[in-house]
Structure 1
Amino acid sequence: MKNVPNLPQELVEEILTRLPCKSLMRFKCVCKHWYALFCNDTKFLSRQVSHFLKNQNSAATDVLLRHPSLTNSRTGLATLPCKLLTLSPAGEWVRICGHSNGILCLSSGDNSQVLLYNPSTTEFRYLPHTLERLGFSEAVGMGYDYSSNDFKVIRIRYAVSDIWAEQYTLSTDSWTVLPNSNAELFGFRSDSFAMCFKRTFYWWATYQGDYVIVALNMDDGVFQIVPKPPGVLIGQLHPRSLTVLYDSISLVCCSCYHNTPFSSIDIWVMGGFGSWTQMRTIKHVRGVLRPLVFWKGNELLMQMTLGKIKSYRVDTEEIKDLYLDRNPYLYLDRSPFQAVNYVPSLVSLKGGIHLV
């Protein structure tokens, strides 16, 4: 049999980016180059995760659910179909404050403690405290900067009448104040962070008594209002979600019919900045508490009453129940789920601690 010629290194690496995290973990012992590639090369790992995020029908893409009643672990983290994730060091009150490239940003209930966590490798890293200016944390959000291949965390802080924004960068393990953020113009809550998409952070906020969406781009570090679709309400009493549909930002809003258990759900897609198109209206859906996130490209997950999760396919308009490990507390607990598209990765937190 003839010898198979060696493939170019670039082609080999391109093939490897198509492999899921579990395969990379097995193959990192093949040679020293692959070990360094899988464990230390941030550009390769970013490409590998991006491939599975773009192909959200892949079996390697999970939805990570967060709810205090989901499991008996201290985090209440689970994936569909109900693979449990545990995290001891974060304490009992954990909020997902962003995710990217297989890394979660988690915070305590009052945002006083923030950490980055890789569930696949069980590595976590506490973010340092800010010593430059004393204050309280009001909101936290995390994203990935593809231009510098670095994780960034934005934190809104306040002290007396002063409000400011600061940015943490993983590569330097330090915080810097964003001097011209305009954070003082808006009102934020501990759960204000919505998402990070294409190097822009999106937040729910208030401005002059009105509920708004604000965006902060990684380049200029300035909060600006994103125009809403006409007539759409996004206040705390109006369930809503900011997510991604067909590689575009999607605003999903839920409105209840008066004195009935039925709701309608509007799905909007943003073209240009603040330019919205209404894609679909789902009418007469019973028992919806809030929309969550799109899964597998075009399946909208919705939190229902009695601890249920339903999915709605945009193309076929099919609605079905998704299996969740039945927990009696879910039937009574109307606390909001958090749901994020999650791809396991080997991305290192550069000096983090591994759970035992």
Structure 2
Amino acid sequence: MMKNKKVEADNPFLPQEIIRDILTRLPVKALNRFQCVCRHWRDLFKDPSFIADHFHHSNRQNPYILFQRGHSHDNHLDLYSLGSDMQERRFQNPPLIEHLNHGKIVGSSNGLLCVQPNRLRYSRHSLLLWNPAIKEVKLVPETDFRLDFYPYGIHSIGFGFCPSLNDYKIVVAFFKNHFEMFKVYSLRSNSWKEVEYRLDACDVYYRVTHIFYRVTVNGVMFWWGDIRKDHGKHIEIVIFSFDLATEVWTVIPMPEQHSSTFSKSLMVYEGKLAFVICTKDFEHSAIHLWVREEGVGASGETWNWTKKFTSNPYPSSGLFPETMWGNEIFCRIWDGESTNTVLFNPTTEKFKDHNISKCNNMHQIFNYVESLVSVEGTKY
């Protein structure tokens, strides 16, 4: 018996479930190196269950802010990530994006980026999907439309994940006065289709004047925009939602507005859709946050807005709340000449200033988490 115990001590053993749990907590860069350890590990890193568990840990422990720098006249894909150490790190663009003359990020979801290249006039490959962590990029299939040309109209692009279908979708909304055409791309089917415009809450005349894509929450994509109702006599700010599973559109009323509203944004707060506005006077700003929650409200609707908090005044009249980062709100400050950043913690009700050099010229901001999710593309 003693001899057997000695053999066990000389040959330490970890159960496979413990090894798996350790691996799910490691950064993607390490897992990329460990693929050559053995075939079992290489296959494990491609297993959907392992990929989901790894993302769960990464999302809790290592969320990033991704921002694109550049001038409005060039749109170069000059990307940086900002981690919890508040250090900026530049992304290396894949050769395919360099070949297509850079471009801009139009969406971020579960470690995947949707990129719109600049060189649209030479190709109908108008979008790319890219996972920078595993260095994989995919040309989205050719389309029968051009994103750089829609007669007398505008387009808006959304990119998000649908948990119920385990699918990533790109939604392109074209409109002139009304919404007129919608195209949806599915990563699982690797194909486009046109979606019928079925809006279940719009029996009055309206005209879209602006639309801005912001977030996807639990498989539902949200925009906010301006509409003109009653034959153009009344302007109203509303939220447009698109369910990625059922492919049905809905118009959602906004929560209470302030006459001194300076900026507004849609975010994800505690797993729910949040609407954040910033009000200002001559010297100070304040942040107000509402959350869209299920429950019968005073009007009998099954969903209603609940106001969660109003921040203390912040000594700046140029505060722009952008997104939730962990448990804090990431904000930009614009003083007319340069951009700085500040984090607001709703729990402590405190602002923290950060001087981040690369934030100057920042014009695209996204949440980003490294993941092993594949775009079924090519490695570089």
SS at match of 1:275: strand
Q: Give the Cα separation in 1 of the matches to 2:158 and 2:208.
A: 15
How has the CA–CA distance of structure 1 residues 316 and 161 changed in structure 2, closer, same or farther, with 3 Å as cutoff? closer
Q: Deviation of residue 156 (structure 1)?
A: 0.9
On the 8 A contact 2:280/2:317 being kept in 1, the answer is no
State how many pairs are aligned.
335
Match of residue 346 from structure 1? 372
CA distances 1:4-30 after superposition (whole Å, capped 9, x unpaired): 456255x54344322221221122212
* Amino acid across the alignment from 2:315: V
Aligned ranges 1:308-319 → 2 under 5 Å: 308-319=340-351
Say whether 1:320 aligns with 2:326. Answer: no
Say whether 1:104 aligns with 2:126. Answer: no
- Point out the structure with max Rg over C-alpha: 2
Q: Give the Cα separation in 2 of the matches to 1:139 and 1:146.
A: 23
Q: Give the Cα separation in 1 of the matches to 2:189 and 2:175.
A: 24
Say whether 1:23 aligns with 2:25. Answer: no
Q: Give the Cα separation in 2 of the matches to 1:326 and 1:5.
A: 47
Aligned ranges 1:106-145 → 2 under 5 Å: 106-108=115-117, 113-131=126-144, 136=150, 138-145=155-162
TM-score when normalising by structure 2: 0.77
* Amino acid across the alignment from 1:91: N
Match of residue 13 from structure 1? 20
Q: Give the Cα separation in 2 of the matches to 1:73 and 1:223.
A: 31
Q: Give the Cα separation in 2 of the matches to 1:77 and 1:230.
A: 36
Match of residue 47 from structure 2? 41
Q: Give the Cα separation in 2 of the matches to 1:123 and 1:233.
A: 47
Moved more, 128-137 or 223-232: 128-137
On the 8 A contact 2:32/2:134 being kept in 1, the answer is no
Match of 2:322 among 292, 299, 312: 292
Match of residue 267 from structure 1? 289
CA distances 1:144-183 after superposition (whole Å, capped 9, x unpaired): 1222322111111358987121210112211011224439
* Amino acid across the alignment from 1:23: A
How has the CA–CA distance of structure 1 residues 307 and 107 changed in structure 2, closer, same or farther, with 3 Å as cutoff? same
Q: Deviation of residue 141 (structure 1)?
A: 0.6
Q: Give the Cα separation in 1 of the matches to 2:20 and 2:195.
A: 38
* Amino acid across the alignment from 2:208: G
On the 8 A contact 1:139/1:193 being kept in 2, the answer is yes
Match of residue 225 from structure 1? 251
On the 8 A contact 1:270/1:277 being kept in 2, the answer is no
Match of 2:265 among 217, 241, 245: 241
Say whether 1:187 aligns with 2:203. Answer: no
Q: Give the Cα separation in 2 of the matches to 1:162 and 1:254.
A: 29
On the 8 A contact 1:153/1:167 being kept in 2, the answer is yes
Say whether 1:175 aligns with 2:177. Answer: no
How has the CA–CA distance of structure 1 residues 188 and 297 changed in structure 2, closer, same or farther, with 3 Å as cutoff? farther
SS at match of 2:43: helix
* Amino acid across the alignment from 2:138: R
What root-mean-square deviation, in Å, do the aligned CA atoms of Structure 1 and Structure 2 show?
3.3
Q: Deviation of residue 142 (structure 1)?
A: 0.7
Match of 1:212 among 193, 217, 238: 238
Unaligned runs of 5+ in 1: none
Identity %: 25
SS at match of 2:311: strand
Q: Give the Cα separation in 2 of the matches to 1:175 and 1:26.
A: 35
On the 8 A contact 1:241/1:251 being kept in 2, the answer is yes
SS at match of 1:271: strand
How has the CA–CA distance of structure 1 residues 8 and 266 changed in structure 2, closer, same or farther, with 3 Å as cutoff? same
Moved more, 101-110 or 131-140: 131-140
Match of residue 67 from structure 1? 69
Q: Deviation of residue 133 (structure 1)?
A: 10
Q: Deviation of residue 200 (structure 1)?
A: 0.5
Match of residue 298 from structure 2? none
Match of 1:202 among 193, 206, 222: 222
Say whether 1:304 aligns with 2:325. Answer: no
On the 8 A contact 1:46/1:101 being kept in 2, the answer is no
CA distances 1:35-89 after superposition (whole Å, capped 9, x unpaired): 1222x33342233113322x2xx2x2211112316xx993121111210114324
SS at match of 1:338: strand
On the 8 A contact 1:128/1:174 being kept in 2, the answer is yes
Match of 1:32 among 24, 39, 42: 39
